[in-house]
Amino acid sequence: MNESVRSVLLVGVGGQGTIMASDILSAVMINAGFDVKKSEVHGMAQRGGSVSSHVRFGPKVYSPLAGKGDVSILVSFEKLETLRYLEYLKPDGKVIINNEEIYPPSVNLGEALYPGDAIDFIKNHFKDVKVVDATAMALRSGDKRMANTVILGVLSSCLDIEVDIWEDVLKESFPSKILEGNINAFSLGRGV
Amino acid sequence: MKQLMSGNEAIARGAYEHGITFASAYPGTPSTEILEEFSRYDGVYAEWTPNEKVALEVGIGAALGGARALVVMKQVGVNVAADPLFTLSYTGTEGGLVIVSADDPSLHSSQNEQDSRNYAKAAKIPMLEPADSAEAKEFIKIAFRMSEEFDTPVFLRSTTRISHSKSIVTLEDREIHEENRGVRYNPSKYVMVPAMARQRRIVVEKKMERLSKFAETFPENRMEINDTKIGIITAGMPYNYTKDVFPGYSYLKLGMVHPLPHDLIREFASKVERLYVVEELDPFIEEQIKAMGIDVIGREVFPYTGEFDPGVVETAITGNEAAVVNLPDLSLPQRPPNLCPGCPHRGLFYVLGKLKVFVAGDIGCYTLAFMKPLEGMHSTICMGASVGMAHGMDKVIGGKEKVVGVIGDSTFIHSGITPLLNMAYNKSNSVIIICDNRTTAMTGMQENPATGFTLHGKETKALDFVKLAEALGMDNVRVVDPFDMKNTRSVIKEELSTEGPSLVISSAPCALLAVKQKLPGKTPLRVNPDKCTGCKACLGLGCPPISWKRFEDMDIKIEKKTKKQEGIAFIDSSLCNGCTLCQQLCSAGAIEEVVEDE
Ligand SMILES: Cc1ncc(C[n+]2csc(CCOP(=O)(O)OP(=O)(O)O)c2C)c(N)n1
């Protein structure tokens, strides 16, 4: 793998704002002067399926997709989805997890169990794991839908990018009515 | 100005910058956004057509009238458009015509993994393939220039990873190129009866010869000579995957994948010690290079199926797997897409699943109803297949039991009308159901001829399914509301025991459409834990907000209604759309409206 390029993989469930978060991250990295490529599969994401988005940045990026073992930071908006994408992480990769459970249909039907010890499992295999109660923190900023902005705040503290660049992009990304709440949510996340 | 753009946005932008003002398409992932984006530019005309064949024929007409025409489809759409396609290379295109075909390696949202490049070869049409958004924007312009210069349709091939990845693009100003619009009378070129087609057949071969020469010096077929121990011949996105892991190798990056530049390939092969072809799907380039007698490594190390990524390429070439943490197999519960809360398809397929009839299905959101717990669909081949298949089955098992075919509104218009006519004509005895949710939901809610609006949002004629069916010769035509499951069930049962072919129109708007149109919402529902008997009937709908909680996993104590009761159902009211299907199934009367001030 090309060492000068870093990969962040954002994963979640359709409707959680995974793609929006990856758009914001990409814009930040462009403004910070990097070449950026980003890739996701749209398809039927809207219908509650599993969603993933690769963001790669560096002096020159060729592939918009990271390979297995190439991701420096796995950002997950849902616990079970984290497990699905762990094989993409570098052995010394970081994991940021929103402490939220969304049951897939088979669990709702009582045919499968939602993995109960996901966090322990991840911590057993990776050293740098941050679990964030993003939904609760978003509620404090006024709306639980801002959980993805809280998570972006957490992510920002793991990337060496000036906070002004993040805030400028947030300002361009949200309508003024919900901007303050999102800036707030972002700061809460950044402080974790 | 620099901007992050998806390949689809870039293709639309490129067409706009090149002054294109005419485009037609039928939606299909991963191609859909191209026409949507294009239609938003000022001063352009774009239309959704009923299917890809019509889209291409509309484009051919526009080009014959002197315009530059853009036609867009997903890979399987080319099958539908194949009939005009194969003769179009004979007639040429006059004004200029480019067909974008978007392939879907890994079948992210397709029913097969076919490789469009085979069509370029079979139909004798040149094909360009960009590797990122910047190239996508540039190549669409080159494609139009080639179309005009060589009087031929030109393919631009995309893949899911080109269409749906974003990379940096530099925006340029729009250039207006003059168009000579008007009627052209030229029967020897456009009336393809055998005598004239035989003449044009020769023109096609000459044209391909000229294009082969053009390919030799085409600047987008470019050599990058670095370390000459290993040489890579590649095109499109696989170029990026390979460059990512092996920036130091030598490359022949092909911008044009048909016809191939034979001399250039020979020259490149002579410069390097070991030669690989890196391409997804069919060994299209590889087989042609092997036929030239050149030693090249391809399929023996690369996978036959699925899309690649940098890791796949690295492993194929070096034999080394990337360093990953060894994880035990977790066999996680899958998270497939599901019908939305409030989806009108759910009630219909619940009824069909319970009726235990064979349901020949089709393609659309409703295809998701094949899964548990609805299990209301038993086949899906291609758009429109349900109608013909139901009829064919009926002809061979006739009398024993009736077969049902189910098809969405957009899919019916795409290719269900002709087979319905066939059913009436050939005296079928099966039941066809159109699930009319008033939109093309699967691909993101595009308008279609039954919605009453055009792509540009203008009001227009809306197809009346009932009148159409009558005109086709269907005597039994019924309309049901799928949110009324009792009536839906009894109407379908009646039609299953009626002589002759029947059409049932299951009519209710898509739940997302209702949100988009800001229709007043219904009151969400909740389960009253004191009434729920834990019978699980509501779970049979597979509705996302409805789940099941066992008593031992609950914090609060709930009294058992029966000795055997193990838990209760639970509705996440924040996700519920209040469609009432679960209420209709609950014999305990435990599902009630959420009271506002709770
Ligand atoms: C030949 C072809 N063109 C396009 C597609 C992509 N596609 C699949 S289903 C569909 C339309 C579905 O709309 P509709 O029949 O109205 O059903 P809905 O999704 O609204 O339930 C489209 C465009 C395809 N699979 N095959």
pLDDT of A105: 87
Are A48 and B547 inside 8 Å of each other by CB? no
pLDDT of B594: 95
pLDDT of A33: 95
Distance of CA B565 to the CA centre of its chain: 45
Check CB contact of B575 with chain A, cutoff 8 Å: no
Q: Nearest 5°: phi and psi at B4? A: -80, 125
pLDDT of B321: 87
Check CB contact of B311 with chain A, cutoff 8 Å: yes
**B431-436 and B249-254: which strand pairing?**
unpaired
pLDDT at residue B557 greater than cutoff 90: no
Are A37 and B165 inside 8 Å of each other by CB? yes
pLDDT of A46: 61
Distance in Å, CA B400 to ligand 1 centroid: 32
Binned at pLDDT 50, 70 and 90, residue A91 comes out as very high
Share of chain B above pLDDT 70, in %: 100
Binned at pLDDT 50, 70 and 90, residue B566 comes out as very high
Nearest-CA distance B547 → chain A (Å):
4
Asked whether the beta carbons of B159 and B103 are under 8 A apart, the reply is yes
**Residue B115 Cβ < 6 Å to ligand 1:** no
Q: CB within 8 A of A103, min separation 6: which ones?
A: A114, B547
User: What is the domain partition of chain A in residue ranges?
Assistant: 6-132+163-171
pLDDT of A42: 56
Q: What is the mean pLDDT of residues B140-147?
A: 98
Cα nearest neighbour of A51 on chain B: B335
Return the closest-CA partner of residue B558 out of B550, B249, A50, B24: B550
pLDDT of A141: 85
How many helices and strands in chain B, by DSSP H and E? 21, 22
Does CATH place domain B2-217 in 3.40.50.970?
Answer: yes
Check CB contact of B52 with chain A, cutoff 8 Å: no
* Choices 1.10.150, 3.30.67, 2.60.40, 3.30.70: CATH for B525-593: 3.30.70
Binned at pLDDT 50, 70 and 90, residue B242 comes out as very high
pLDDT of A12: 94
Q: CB-CB: which of B164, B323, B332 is closest to A69?
A: B323
Are A109 and B539 inside 8 Å of each other by CB? yes
Encode pLDDT of B491-542 as tens digits.
999 999 999 999 999 999 999 998 888 888 899 999 999 999 999 999 999 9
**Residue B48 Cβ < 6 Å to ligand 1:** no
Cα nearest neighbour of A39 on chain B: B165
Encode pLDDT of B449-460 as tens digits.
999 999 999 999
Average pLDDT over chain B reads 96
* Choices 3.50.50.60, 3.20.20.80, 3.40.920.10, 3.90.380.10: CATH for A6-132+163-171: 3.40.920.10
Are B240 and A36 inside 8 Å of each other by CB? no
Q: CB-CB: which of B309, B312, B338 is closest to A48?
A: B338
**Of B141-145, B288-292, B398-402, which range is least confident?**
B398-402
Q: Which two tokens stand for residue A22?
A: 């990856």
Binned at pLDDT 50, 70 and 90, residue B280 comes out as very high
Q: Which two tokens stand for residue B577?
A: 């759309």
User: What is the domain partition of chain B in residue ranges?
Assistant: 2-217, 222-318, 344-516, 525-593
Binned at pLDDT 50, 70 and 90, residue A43 comes out as low
- d(CA A167, CA A177) in angstroms, rounded, equals 16
Nearest-CA distance A54 → chain B (Å):
9
Tell me which chain A residues have a C-beta less than 8 angstroms from the C-beta of B108: 41, 43
Interface of B with A in 200-239 (CB under 8 A): 239
Are A63 and B132 inside 8 Å of each other by CB? no
What's the half-sphere exposure (Cβ side, CA atoms, 13 Å) at B249? 28
Interface of B with A in 109-128 (CB under 8 A): 109
Share of chain B above pLDDT 90, in %: 92
Interface of A with B in 95-154 (CB under 8 A): 103-115, 121, 125-126
Encode pLDDT of B383-417 as tens digits.
999 999 999 999 999 777 899 999 999 999 999 99
SS3 state at B286: helix
pLDDT of B590: 97
**Of A39-53, B258-272, B291-305, which range is least confident?**
A39-53
> Whose C-alpha lies nearest to ligand 1, atom 15?
B408
Q: What is the mean pLDDT of residues A26-51?
A: 85
What's the half-sphere exposure (Cβ side, CA atoms, 13 Å) at B105? 23
Binned at pLDDT 50, 70 and 90, residue B597 comes out as low
Q: What is the mean pLDDT of residues B341-361?
A: 97
Binned at pLDDT 50, 70 and 90, residue A62 comes out as very high
Are B324 and A68 inside 8 Å of each other by CB? yes
Mutate to test the pocket of ligand 1, among B54, B75, B414, B463 (most ligand atoms within 8 A of CB): B414
Are A2 and B30 inside 8 Å of each other by CB? no
List residues bridging with A95 in a β-sheet.
A74, A129
**Residue B443 Cβ < 6 Å to ligand 1:** yes
Interface confidence (ipTM) of the complex: 0.94
SS3 state at B571: strand
What is residue B521's DSSP assignment?
P
Binned at pLDDT 50, 70 and 90, residue A44 comes out as low
pLDDT of B519: 85
Tell me which chain A residues have a C-beta less than 8 angstroms from the C-beta of B312: 67
Does CATH place domain B344-516 in 3.30.530.20?
Answer: no
- Cis-peptide into B310, omega within 30 deg: no
Binned at pLDDT 50, 70 and 90, residue B253 comes out as very high
Binned at pLDDT 50, 70 and 90, residue A2 comes out as low
Interface of B with A in 384-443 (CB under 8 A): 442
pLDDT at residue A185 greater than cutoff 90: yes
**Of A1-10, B158-167, B193-202, which range is least confident?**
A1-10
Asked whether the beta carbons of B432 and B390 are under 8 A apart, the reply is yes
pLDDT of B182: 97
- d(CA A175, CA B185) in angstroms, rounded, equals 55
Distance in Å, CA B32 to ligand 1 centroid: 11
pLDDT at residue B241 greater than cutoff 60: yes
Tell me which chain A residues have a C-beta less than 8 angstroms from the C-beta of B239: 62
**Residue B27 Cβ < 6 Å to ligand 1:** yes
SS3 state at B158: strand
What dotted CATH number matches B222-318?
3.40.50.920
Helix/strand/coil percentages in chain A, nearest 5: 45, 25, 35
Cα nearest neighbour of B166 on chain A: A38
Cα nearest neighbour of B241 on chain A: A63
Distance in Å, CA B510 to ligand 1 centroid: 14
Encode pLDDT of B66-112 as tens digits.
999 999 999 999 999 999 999 999 999 999 999 999 999 999 999 99
Mutate to test the pocket of ligand 1, among B363, B365, B367, B437 (most ligand atoms within 8 A of CB): B363
* Dihedral angle computed from the Cα positions of residues B551, B552, B555 and B557, in that order, rounded to the nearest 10 degrees: 50
Distance in Å, CA B383 to ligand 1 centroid: 7
Encode pLDDT of A98-130 as tens digits.
999 999 988 988 889 999 889 999 999 999 999
Tell me which chain A residues have a C-beta less than 8 angstroms from the C-beta of B109: 41-44
Q: Which two tokens stand for residue A75?
A: 């950002």
Q: CB-CB: which of B29, B109, B334 is closest to A106?
A: B334
For B494-525, b/e burial (b = at least 16 CB within 10 A) is ebbeeeebbbbbbbbbbbbbbeeeeeeeeebb
Nearest-CA distance B481 → chain A (Å):
22
